[in-house]
Structure 1
Amino acid sequence: MSTLPCAAVRRRQALRAVLALLLLSMLACTIRPEAIAAVFLDATPTMLRPTRTPKPPPTLPAVLPTLPPVLDVVAPPTPAAALPGIQQSLVDVYALANTAVVSILVSAGTDKAEEGSGFLYDSSGHIITNEHVVRNARSIEVSFSVGEKVAGRLVGSDANSDLAVIVVERVPAGVVALRLGDSDRVQVGHQVVAIGNPFGLRGTMSLGIVSGLGRMLSGAPADISGAAYTMPDIIQTDAAINPGNSGGPLLNLAGEVIGVNKAIYSDTGVNSGVGFAIGANVVRRVVTALILTGKYEYPYLGIMGQDEYSMAELQALGVAAQPGVYVVSVLPDGPAAAAGLRGGSTPTRFGALQSGGDVITAVEGLPVLQFSDLLSYLAKNTKVGQVVKLTVWRAGTILQLDVRLTARP
């Protein structure tokens, strides 16, 4: 048996070791190529450093946004369609004014209480209404639309204009006073609304137009001559006014008070399409005085007249061709008598209507065509003690007369 040289034996043993290592590497490891080359190129045993294939880093799950729980899908509400111009204006006026409109319950010491309307005039708690609403009142209860009831106290009243002011100690939060407008700017055909409590139905609004201007209504009481005071600057409207509306506001579509609802013309006692309101410019003057002094003094001229004459009457008076205010009579001891104004003195076939009276054609240079024009000017523009200049036609001659107004008797 031959014996291999020691070197050969060592090479054979090394080769076996390398093959064994290669087999193990194939099972578990990856052998660097340079290490294998070194084994075959150099028989000297070499310390091998297997390199493990690194595990890929764990893949983290993607972070998903947190979603709300799935709910039933509800369609969003459909936006309210814009209302046509006039409808939106009416809605806005009501929203603005209704909280300031009040119901006034008056007890006169009987079992039956009377109800009317009114509205807040200022932040001090003054409320405007009609004189006939609070006449003979022993107790006054004011109800606001927000649900609060407050006791009221009479500050002052004026039967001639049918206006009164009451006051409450407390105004509910959120209630804002209404603003008086300029009744001289009102025109026939303007749309208006009345808000009040007809038949106890609180917060009722009705729509109409201005049907006429410069109307006159007889007032009370009569003066010492027996003649009733005539209320000027009355607005006529077809907005529904019924029992319970008295004292409530007549408003334009800007939410301004242009009048205080007073009366209706009706054979049945309910609305017939002819209602009347006291013009705001008269209201402003009277109410200011009632708050300050409790009364109002009217500038007084001291004549009697009328608005309408037939053609036959004008011919009988001899003034058919002369526009102006015919002076039917001059009351004795009055301002007009002191200034030399003349009334009719010659009998005609029309009874108390006598000819020969003066015709007032202008006051302070402003033409007047009807008796209501003259009364309206005096009521809105003059005061007691003021001197006014009247232009007078007398039998074809033009005169200028100065008249110092006094307080109405």
Structure 2
Amino acid sequence: MDATYAAAHQDPHDDRSADLTDEPAEARWVPEPDKRPGRTAFQRDRARVLHSAALRRLAGITQVVAPMRSDFPRTRLTHSLECAQVGRELGAALGCDPDLVETACLAHDIGHPPFGHTGEEALDQAAERCGGFEGNAQSLRILTRLEPKRFAPLDQPPARLAPRPGRSVGLNLSRAALDAATKYPWPRGGHPLDPDSTKFGVYADDLPVFRWLRSGAPQGRKCFEATVMDWADDVAYSTHDVEDGLYAGHIDPAALRSTEERAELFKVAERYAPGAEPEEFGAALDRLQAEEWWPAGYDGSPRGRAGLKDLTSQLIGRFCLAAEQATRARYGPGRLTRYAAELVVPTGVRLECAVLKAVAVRYVMQRDEQAQLRARQRIVIAELAELLVAGDPGDLDPVFAAQYAEAEDDQGALRAVIDQIATLTDASALALHGRLVSPSKP
């Protein structure tokens, strides 16, 4: 077992496993009174994420098409808002607190760095010496540390699982909200089925808050609200990315009937549904193509645009209703929350979603110009990390300069640099890179 994984499930003060806590789902890492009585804890959580600078920053982060390269591109912010709408309604239909699910959906991509997944991969390489980089782990770090709103009291007495006196606790969301936003509830190397997985939800130095929010949770298992958020994410981006690809003219629906094209498409789909056979993908695509709302083409006309909107509405309704009905069939009526249930998504629907993801990847993201753009973006991230590590700490924003100065070792200093880069937008990353590579002469 990975040492970091084992550490995540131990008491920070001894070698025994962490005990269950009696704190409720609404508890906050640092207790605080509500300034407006009558609001629920989850309404407060939603408001805090919605008003955060970290969420606004997502307006400048690539979703599929880079911001400013099109008049109406979807960004990580618009995707998060759309995900939140899908998740809120699906969660409410299943008995979840809708504000809790919406908070998780709004926060699920808040840790994405410049250039989306391309930036994530480049930062993971740059951060190898301090434990790597993962957008979901960065989300937890932002919510519980980097987005300054609350601090632990300076006179706080030492206690198990309590934050260090005087340190930032970020937005200080409730335990349930942080848990619902945790898509991968394990540290690096701790995937319950695949230790080599690059997906994880917490860095080593954020384990104290992770232990606190996960106390009493089944090891390695997502809470119900997190599974709703995860499916809402899949539904939103699979349908909207196809809509964007059709709108931009990159996807030709007629090509999806070609035997050769389908064979290549299903190779891409395998990454989203490992183990599925080409015949299963073919049946999934056939089901979608047989629907009257499936697009025969797109001509940019008002009727064509309305058709695209109907396509996304039909797909979202299809995918969410299937999950709702299958989950109810297993668990019956009543409220489904926390660890009382797991979201059930029929295999056929998952395969349909996987095919849509593959369509967007093959015809939008794998275009030659996109590959060239991603190569340039990787260079920008790598050079930013090298320049900031080797340069003057004054090049960092004040909050990260302070973090750099307080670092106890080189790994801590590198993490401060990684945090700085991760909080940039696409545009500000390019601007900072240009300033550091070619500083203006006096």
Note whether the superposition's TM-score is higher than 0.5.
no
**TM-score (norm: length of structure 2):** 0.22
Which structure's relative contact order is higher, taking Cα pairs within 8 Å and 6+ residues apart? 2
**TM-score (norm: length of structure 1):** 0.23
